Amino acid sequence: KGYMALLGQLTVAGDVSEDMFKSRYAEISGNPDYKIVVLEETETGKVVGTASLIVERKFLRGCGKCGHIEDVVVDSSKRGLKLGLRLISALADAAQALGCYKVILDCSEANAPFYAKCGFVRKEIQMVKYFNS
């Protein structure tokens, strides 16, 4: 349905065999702290949008939970149709329903105005350290 190709529009998706995909899907689908939303085009069955929510269980805030939105992408041919807003809204609602006290995400400077329209505010900075495999 084009899920991996869609993720490739966001970043390097890598070579993922069908067996690898199925194995990872089984891990994720069995984890109540992980949600993936996909938008599928009715006519073609093609996946045209996706985003993920990972719930972090914390000791802070009375053993609260924090939602992390990741891997947000809408097919380049479908951008501007408010599909990204639908993805973000669905995951923010899910985070709240799961008892998260906040939901956060990282984004590029270029995408910050979009997330502001989704109700997010700029807070602090992001740091990253990549590991070569």
pLDDT tens sequence across 73-105 = 999 999 999 999 999 999 999 999 999 999 999
pTM: 0.94
Helix ranges restricted to H, 60-118: 60-63, 83-97, 112-117
Which residue, among 53, 51, 37, has the nearest Cα to 96 in the 3D structure? Answer: 53
pLDDT tens sequence across 24-79 = 999 999 999 999 999 999 999 999 999 999 999 999 999 999 999 999 999 999 99
Quick one: pLDDT band at residue 132, thresholds 50, 70, 90? confident
Structure-block tokens of residue 33: 């702290």
